[in-house]
Amino acid sequence: MKEEKNMAMEETAKPGMTRRQFMKGMALGAASLSLAAILPGCGSSNSGTTAAASAADTTAAAATTAAAETTAAAAAPTGGIYIDGGDVNMDGQSYTLEFVQPVKLVAKIDGKEITDGTWRSTNKHLVSVTPDGTIQMRDGVGGYDVDVTWTFEDTEYKVTFHTGQTAGPEAIQIDSPMTRGAFMIRLAKYFGWPHYNAVMDDGTDIDDDGNIMTTERVRNYYDVTGDSDYVKPIESALDMGVLKAESPDDCFWPMSAMTREDAAVIIYNAFHMTPLEQDYISGFEDAGNINADCKDALNTLVGRNFMRGRTNSTLNPTDGITDTEARIIIESIDSRVVCPVWAMPVSHRKFVRCRPEWFTSTKDAVVHWRCRAFNLSHEQMKGMSVQDRGVGVILDPEWGDWYDYIPGYSTDPMFGLNNNKDFPYDNVYFCVEVECYATKDGLEDSPSTTFLWRIDRPAWHDFAEDKLHDGGDNFPMVYRFFDNFQAAAYYIEGSESGILYDGLMPTSTNRTLYDRVKEIATKPFVFVLGHNHPDHKGALAPFFNAGGDVYLADRVGPMDTEWSIEVYNKEYTSANPVIDETITGTYTGENVHIMKEGDVIDLGNCKFECFRLPGHCDDLMIIYDRENGLMFASDIYAVNRYWVADQFSARGMKQDLVLSLQQQLMDLYTKDGATVKELYTGHNRVGVGGDYLMMWEQCLQKLVNYGPDAVSDDRRGDGAIVVKDGNTYETMNWTAFSQSGAMVRNEYTGTADGKTFYRIEVDNRGGETPLVESNLYFDYKTNAALSNISFKDAVLVGHEFKYKTGFDEAEELLPDGRLKYVLENKFVPFEYEYDVTITSGQKTVTFTPVAMSDRITAMTVNGNPASSRCPITVDTGSAAVIEVTGPDGATKLSYTLNFVTA
């Protein structure tokens, strides 16, 4: 009988589909028809329920139970709610529902199924409905009516389910097969695979030989779409190589039952298992039903006692696997074998730089890795070391030494062509292959996994560029440029003039970024230095030498310093350091313009204001088009481009003082209702929005609030630390600030079980290792300082903010006698009395005090209770006194505001 059913299915299958593919497709239809089998009249009006039940049995669809409360419609109208595969309209009907398994509903208008629209349940706790119309009774509580509705534009249909307890004269099959989508959710949750859309992966696919592919590999299935929970797990598994698709037209059948043999294949692939030579499954009665493609996987899982038959004599390979069965298999493997090593970025990608992260789901496992290089673009590169913080690759086809890597502690390797001088003048590349496995005492070593990346650096003069915006009546034209170091610069052109913001790395050739911008620019333009770091000032000297106007930060910019332009020989490498020409000079004269915060550059149809935020670099300047919401910030707002950098530093200031300046800048950015809509930084591949600034501030806030409890591991050094906000694998809005201090990995022995375990912890012992608290000016345990005060109807008379306070150079003077490291007209957290300018006759002032720590225990204004970040109104007849009590409940600081008439 079973052979006849299989033959019938093969005859019905669509051309070009295999029997296994057709079986997967049938499961969804059978599951939906199963309700029709026991709901008289609501399935197919021209086919008996026996046939429906037979189809459900054939594909191991879940049995369901219900009884009709109302008479089914004699003739189905053209629009309503139907069971998928049925033709009887359920709109307006009521049915009694027992504890049933999932049933797929569809909506139709004029006889046509509509996949748009919204499904709703009036009580999801009792009867849930998914966005695709799959209903399921979630609780055995009886006696409630639950409406399931579908709405689309002005159309709404409804079916009512009455939850019941009394079943018919037959047992309900409670254990139902997992859908293929649900199975992938469980598997991806165990492995922790990130989804590729959550990370800034700007790579390109390569083949097994390291050659760049002209067509990207397939990363999605035709039927895996929308926001369903299974979409990202399936696509992640596809990207990781666990699943395979030849074409984006391939289907995965996510709502079909996951068969036991298909589950075995996917688990086998995910755990990188090696097939067993001995045959362990041919003795099962139904071994003949196993698909040939599944035999190795089933034999390995069963032979190693990770998976069991449904009985001691049957495997039931084409039955659907239950959630309990899948969980036990995964947990059985996990309890005996270390999970294999995975990496982000995924294998077979091309990057300019790549800092991979190894991860394994086995807690406290140690990863062991080694690498080799091949496919070198230049013979003279052989034997060179490509690394960062001492960990990388020797450019040699022989395998290198093994490294130990402790997730959450160890330095990630860097396979990147960072130092231009070490490599030839033109395009250079190599491929790095990495082999990994992981170990843990008491468990079997993980299988080995391999990864392949191509590191490909353009020639020094081959600037990558893209046009971010066309110009408009009141909007600038914007171009972005990348160099081979992957720093970013921007050309912004208004109706009358333009700005070249930042200058990338020095090209060391006869063609500079300045030369390239001249080919694009249609208006005269100036150069604004975002900050004076080597990867951002490359075009500054050529631009100035050509007679261009350059804008540098007041007090700390490179004015009056020497510059040089070195033109390297085209055969230049570290082994052949030939410089053809050197030109030198000094940044002086009328072409040097000093910029202060608040200065404006008018481009005609748009204006850019200048703002200062030191920390990463003292002279860092931000430019902001308030009317259009465009901001360019160089490196201060960091980078979320994971493979290039996972953190940045603002350690030129105490971090709580950086927080204060940022909060004050946010008041300026949002003044008069303005909003930062697009933020472009010195390394980001895409623009981010105003939420990025909020997250950036929150990152500092964590450190200010919690000190050492806020830090985590820095991928750029064993035991190095960062404070981080935002999940790297879930959002683009993340950042990490590197901090002074360290973590250590200590070994402990359990007092009760005597077992050894390891703990990564912050080093709070002091001595040679700086304490995390050393990054802060105020003690986080007692911090009662204000970090900002914003005024609605008055103006604070600010002080000079000595932003190097806490460092030896805080009082350093310029030759003209001014303090060097100062920002003017600011609120200063460690100065406690201020004048506030009001208008003549003004009786009240409204202001918002901001406590530096979120953990303060009290705040008062003139003795009355107040709260941080909440506006308060005071009389101007006398001074206002703000008193803050720190987290310890004892430390107090007071700030006095004296009101003066303008």
d(C-alpha 307, C-alpha 76), whole Å: 47
Name the amino acid, one letter, at 235: E
Residues 102, 71 contacting (CB under 8 angstroms): no
Residues 6+ apart with CB under 8 A from 144: 123, 126, 162, 163
Instruction: Enter the tokens of residue 544.
Output: 């100035």
- E strand residue ranges, 126-185: 127-129, 134-137, 145-152, 155-163
Q: Which value, to the nearest 10 degrees, does the dihedral of the CA atoms of residues 825, 827, 829, 833 take?
A: 100
Instruction: Label the pairing between strands 795-796 and 833-838.
Output: antiparallel
- E strand residue ranges, 77-231: 80-83, 94-97, 103-109, 112-113, 118-121, 127-129, 134-137, 145-152, 155-163, 204-205
- Encode pLDDT of 309-343 as tens digits: 999 999 999 999 999 999 999 999 999 999 999 99
Q: In the prediction, which pLDDT does 570 show? A: 78
Q: In the prediction, which pLDDT does 422 show? A: 64
Q: In the prediction, which pLDDT does 521 show? A: 98
Q: In the prediction, which pLDDT does 394 show? A: 92
Query: 453-474 burial, b if ≥16 CB within 10 A, otherwise e?
Result: bbbbbbbbbbbebeebbebeee
Q: Which of 480, 497, 476, 496 is nearest to 488 (CA)?
A: 480
Q: In the prediction, which pLDDT does 729 show? A: 83
Q: Which of 166, 181, 299, 171 is nearest to 232 (CA)?
A: 181
Residues of the chain with pLDDT under 50: 1-41, 43, 45-77
φ, ψ of residue 265 in degrees (nearest 5): -65, -45
What's the distance, Cα to Cα, between the start and end of the chain in Å? 98
Residues 105, 174 contacting (CB under 8 angstroms): no
Q: Which of 268, 326, 265 is nearest to 293 (CA)?
A: 265
- Tallying the residues shown for the chain, one arrives at 902
Instruction: Enter the tokens of residue 8.
Output: 């019938």
Instruction: Give 122-125 contacts, CB < 8 A, sequence gap 24+.
Output: 122/146, 122/147, 122/148, 122/149
d(C-alpha 36, C-alpha 42), whole Å: 6
Q: In the prediction, which pLDDT does 66 show? A: 39
Residues 260, 321 contacting (CB under 8 angstroms): yes
Q: In the prediction, which pLDDT does 1 show? A: 38
Q: Which of 341, 593, 559 is nearest to 447 (CA)?
A: 341
- Encode pLDDT of 860-885 as tens digits: 999 999 999 999 999 999 999 999 99
Residues 210, 375 contacting (CB under 8 angstroms): yes
Q: In the prediction, which pLDDT does 447 show? A: 98
Estimate to the nearest angstrom the gap between the alpha carbon of 291 and the chain centroid.
39
Residue where the block lists tokens 């034209």: 477
Instruction: Enter the tokens of residue 771.
Output: 């304490």
Q: Which of 284, 273, 291 is nearest to 332 (CA)?
A: 273
Q: Which helix (H) or strand (E) segment is 53 a member of? A: helix 49-58
Instruction: Give burial (CB, 10 Å; 0-12/13-18/19+) of 175.
Output: exposed
